[in-house]
Amino acid sequence: MTLVLSVLAVIWGLGFVMGTPRRPQVVMTGVVLGAVVVVQLTLEAGHPLREATGGDVRLWLLILGIAGLVAVYRRVLRRVRLRATKVATERDAMAPAKPQPAFSDSELTRYARHMMLREIGGPGQKKLKAARVLVVGAGGLGSPVLLYLAAAGVGTIGVIDDDDVDTSNLQRQVIHRDDWVGRPKVHSAAEAMVALNPHISVRPYARRFTEDIAADLLADYDLVLDGCDNFRTRYAVNAACVAAGKPLISAAITQWEGQLSLFDPAHDAPCYACVFPEAPAEGLVPTCAEAGVAGPLPGVVGSMMALEAVKEITGAGQGLRGRLMIYDGLYVDQRVMTVRRRSDCSVCGGTHRLP
């Protein structure tokens, strides 16, 4: 028995020193205990290896049973807590927004560098605090967008995503942490945002953006940022924004390249469908999971999305309304081209024009 305990001590001791995630250590522990049980069941009584590993299988079965009960209890408890958090946050998301108070001393210090900019100043920071922005997707692009909108002091930020944090996300989705693997991305993101800036309100929606909820969802926001990773949602978000007359900042990335624009037919700029009338054929444009993506790329493009949002809210500078920016990170090339509305657009053609 001492031999087995020594092996387990080495596994956990090395794991602690090397900073190994807990999951591999648990798996290795299970393998060791499983091997011990096999030895106890297959070797005859008195065998040296059987004696060295305890000599009685009942003890190890009892240990495995207790460990299994603890694991099941922790999993059930975690699910109950996540469910309670989801219910509470979604209930809060439906509650009427509280009136925004004046800037506190802490906020004045926090946003001082913004207020020094003549293009933003105090009035612009007030607009940011009063702004209500919906972000579709809490993945690669959503991560920097959400962090920078939170840091900039955007008063109310909604985030909608139906995915959970996976280890493969952590190479680029910097808003999430390793010990949050398995959590809904919107709750992981919300915790990181509030930790960064407690003066904002975050509304997480742990579900997919669909047409049946689009109208009610967008009614409570002034600006939408779309960083989702599939064309179906991208077209659905665009159609909903056109119908609601809300500006849409949309971006996409793959491998080393990204693109970004502000679509706003209500102000005579094209919508997404004007520029991209049809989704590409299946398999023609591979996803990040299929083709790969450079880790910092979503950080670059997502930060640009957040910057465009700050400019759109405060009225600073010239935005990308009616212009499409294409960024090539591999060869450090950036191009901006003019894009126009199409009168035959199936989504916005002939509608939402200013008088």
Going from N- to C-terminal start, the domains of the chain cover: 2-78, 118-338
Tokens 């900039």 sit on residue: 152
- The pLDDT score that the predictor gives to residue 73 is 79
Bridge partners, residue 113, by sequence:
none
| One CATH from 3.10.105.10, 3.40.50.720, 3.30.470.30, 3.30.420.10 for 118-338 | 3.40.50.720
Tell whether pTM > 0.75.
no
Two tokens, residue 233? 């949602």
For residue 174, the model assigns a pLDDT of 95
The pLDDT value recorded for residue 260 is: 97
The pLDDT of residue 92 is: 60
Burial of 29 (0-12, 13-18, 19+ CB in 10 A): middle
Residues of the chain with pLDDT under 50: 100, 353-355
pLDDT value of position 355: 36
pLDDT at 354: 41
Distance, in Å, from the CA atom of 305 to the CA atom of 273, rounded to the nearest integer, reads 19
Beta carbons within 8 Å of 139's beta carbon, 6+ residues apart:
161, 163, 169, 173, 185, 227, 228, 229, 298
Q: How far apart are CA 341 and CA 355, in angstroms?
A: 16
Cα 224 vs. chain centroid, distance in angstroms?
15
Residue 74: predicted pLDDT: 75
Query: At residue 249, what are phi and psi to the nearest 5 degrees?
Result: -100, 115
Task: Read off the tokens for 299.
Answer: 């950080």
Q: What is the pLDDT of residue 7?
A: 65
